[in-house]
Amino acid sequence: MVTADQKASEVPFTPAGTIASTDVQAAIAEAASEAEQSVNKNGVNGYPGLDGSSKLNGSQQTYGFATNTAAQGNEARLVRKTIQIHVPGTLSVKTYEVKAMIPGWLKGGSGAITLVGVRGIVNTAPTDATLIIDVLKGGVSIYSAQGNMINITTGTTSDDADTIQTATASADDEYSLQVEQIGSTLPGADLTVMLEFDVVPS
């Protein structure tokens, strides 16, 4: 029972959350200690401090081109766009005329367009040899070596291509596929290639 002349240390407290004390005075002291520890989580004590340097100014966004920097100017309007090329059925060594053009909404005043990623996926994996797929821009390979192309190894169904030699793109570019090598037992089938672009509107 609580009376008017009781001290805080005599008033019972039911522990809750991170507070383990069983009387009011001890609970207040424990809460104050936790608050002080939270305030002291700064750079001096080994924690990243929350000071003015961590704020984003104006129209800056969370990510910029440089690592751990805020986006500014055109970077803040960067758009990531993926287009796909599908080749149904069993693959063979040939150039496929199935083409993809950078989407029409980019035409007429678009800024820089950069091809930043290429990924190939098949529904049926090649066996006993690697399935190698080249990506052509305007009929010319975007890669400098076969090892940088899409290489889907035997028994697997996907691969992310390596260094892109011709990464700069424009709104009128057409992309197509050339199968350089197929699996020797099962060629591989039902191919999808995804082209990922970074676009900075002008």
Distance of alpha carbon 198 from alpha carbon 195, whole angstroms: 10
Give yes or no for a contact between 117 and 193, defined as CB atoms under 8 angstroms apart. no
Give the residue, 122 or 103, on which the prediction is more confident.
122
pLDDT at 61: 40
Distances, alpha carbon 48 to alpha carbons 1, 57, 92, 142, in Å:
46, 19, 55, 43
Distance of alpha carbon 185 from alpha carbon 50, whole angstroms: 60
pLDDT at 154: 97
The domain limits of the chain are 8-54, 73-199
Q: What is the assigned CATH class of domain 73-199?
A: mainly beta
Distances, alpha carbon 135 to alpha carbons 119, 155, 176, in Å:
10, 22, 6
pLDDT at 59: 40
Query: What is the DSSP track for 161-199?
Result: ----S--EE-TT-EEEEEEEE--SSS--EEEEEEEEEEE
Distance of alpha carbon 136 from alpha carbon 13, whole angstroms: 73
Does 139 score more than 60 pLDDT? yes
| Sign of CA pseudo-dihedral 164, 168, 171, 172 | negative
113-124 tens-digit pLDDT: 889 999 999 999
pLDDT at 30: 63
Distance of alpha carbon 41 from alpha carbon 35, whole angstroms: 10
User: Which of 5-19, 75-89, 178-192 is predicted least confidently?
Assistant: 5-19
Does 160 score more than 80 pLDDT? yes
pTM check: above 0.85: no
Comparing CA positions, the residue from 193, 151, 178 lying closest to residue 93 is 178
pLDDT at 169: 87
Does 191 score more than 80 pLDDT? yes
Percentage above 70 pLDDT, the chain: 57
User: Which of 49-58, 123-132, 146-155, 161-170 is predicted least confidently?
Assistant: 49-58
Give the residue, 185 or 197, on which the prediction is more confident.
185
Comparing CA positions, the residue from 136, 126, 130, 125 lying closest to residue 97 is 136
Task: Return mean pLDDT, the chain.
Answer: 75
pLDDT at 137: 92
